[in-house]
Amino acid sequence: MSLLSRPAGNKKVPIPVPEEKLKEGTPKEQVFVASQWQLMWWRFRKHHLAILGTSLIAVFYLLAIFCEFLSPYDPNAFERRYTFVPPQAIHFFHEGVWEGPFIYGLERARDPETYLITYQPDTEVRYPVEFFVQGDSYKMWGLLESSRHLFGLSSDVNARGLRIYLLGTDRLGRDMFSRVLYGARISLSIGLIGVFLSFVIGIFMGGISGYFGGMPDLIIQRIIEFLRSIPTIPLWMGLSAALPRDWSSLQRYFAIVLLLSLIGWTGLARVVRGRFLAVREEDYVTAALLQNASEARIILRHMLPSFFSYIIASLTLAIPGMILGETSLSFLGLGLRPPIISWGVLLQEAQNLQTVALAPWLLIPAIFVVIAILSFNFMGDGLRDAADPYKR
């Protein structure tokens, strides 16, 4: 039995076996030694929204990891002639004839009344979309130097200063698609690192609180109650505004993550404490005590595994809060600042109503934020339901 499987002596209830499992020819006996993870997985995959959410999250993280390669341009490269270009559509047929993926040229015109520049597709010119093209050079993960991108326009078209803008451009003529991908890297990593830090603090504080009880519990409970009873956004705002202005982007990044997790650990600590209190009374813990097992062994080997799944579920549910915190702060101009690109930083461009009315595609990062948050919520919901395979 692995470390994480259900400790022996816990209530063993015959588990209804999914029928397809039996049909696959799994020996019947295996059902009764199915590890906790197998049971979780069986329940989890019944939750269709959770599966959808998990797949979307996987796609998002892949986008974030390979953003240098997947984005056609350097996110900070700007093109003065192409500011506020609306998203361009990729076409496959020209006048009913298959042409493969291509885009039409852009016709630039100045509105005679408002003096605003408008763009119209120029159906006379067609530029094919090519794959694995040469483009702006980059250093993948700061290590591998390359200038190959997944897709883009051919290099001679590139040289003429023409670009493909899948999600349009911002006020400086930067490619929103590339920026959203790079933003995903920062926003999604903040979620992970923030939750990891919260997890460390939460499991430490919650563990002390739940295992020892008494005075430490009382103090930690008061702290948690305090942190939960103050409005987070004003507090985050205040604390991040107090960060020194001359800090580098990287310092700022870590400071913001730290701030988010310093306030966000309380939920996890409550879960850990609650579970500790519940499990402490279980017979198998008493049994371990009677066998003279050491305290560390009881905690690590007997207690933690029994509620590890709950912790994973609450971790997942805590990530969207982190992402949202960063997005809100950066949106207000108190979190990350350019040149770092996060979804919140991108949305800051959309703060002004007039700008949004002029270029609604600046709101596109918001769609990514919402999808990410929903996906994490679905996944966490599914995990939470699956965490207790013995329920119902």
Q: Which residues in this chain contact other proteins in the complex, by CB under 8 A?
A: 49, 222, 225-226, 228-235, 237-239, 241-242, 244, 320, 324, 327-328, 331-334, 347, 350-351, 353, 356-357, 360, 363, 366, 369-370, 373-374, 377-378
Q: Which is nearer to other proteins, 122 or 225 (CB)?
A: 225
Minimum gap (Å) between residue 6 Cβ and other proteins: 26
At 135, give phi and psi (nearest 5°): -155, -150
Q: Which is nearer to other proteins, 1 or 219 (CB)?
A: 219
Minimum gap (Å) between residue 157 Cβ and other proteins: 33
Q: Which is nearer to other proteins, 10 or 377 (CB)?
A: 377
Q: Which is nearer to other proteins, 304 or 317 (CB)?
A: 317
Minimum gap (Å) between residue 75 Cβ and other proteins: 21
Minimum gap (Å) between residue 373 Cβ and other proteins: 5
Minimum gap (Å) between residue 112 Cβ and other proteins: 21
CB atoms within 10 A of CB 40: 21
Question: Which of 349, 343, 350 minimizes the C-alpha distance to 325?
Answer: 343
> 15: phi > 0 → left, psi -120 to 50 → alpha, else beta; which?
beta
How far apart are the C-alpha atoms of 345 and 330, rounded to whole Å? 5
Q: Which is nearer to other proteins, 85 or 323 (CB)?
A: 323
The helix-helix angle for 304-332 and 36-44 (nearest 10°) equals: 50
- Only one residue has tokens 């493909």, namely 164
Minimum gap (Å) between residue 71 Cβ and other proteins: 23
Q: Which is nearer to other proteins, 176 or 304 (CB)?
A: 176
Minimum gap (Å) between residue 138 Cβ and other proteins: 30
- One-character DSSP codes across 77-137: ---TT-SSPPPPPPEEEETTEEEEEEEEEEEEEE-TTT--EEEEEEEEEEEEEEEEEEEEE
Q: Which is nearer to other proteins, 54 or 158 (CB)?
A: 54
> 179: phi > 0 → left, psi -120 to 50 → alpha, else beta; which?
alpha
Q: Which is nearer to other proteins, 89 or 230 (CB)?
A: 230
Minimum gap (Å) between residue 107 Cβ and other proteins: 23
- Measuring CA to CA, how many Å separate 69 from each of 38, 93, 157? 36, 27, 19
- One-character DSSP codes across 157-222: HHHTT----TT-B-TT--BHHHHHHHHHHHHHHHHHHHHHHHHHHHHHHHHHHHHH-HHHHHHHHH
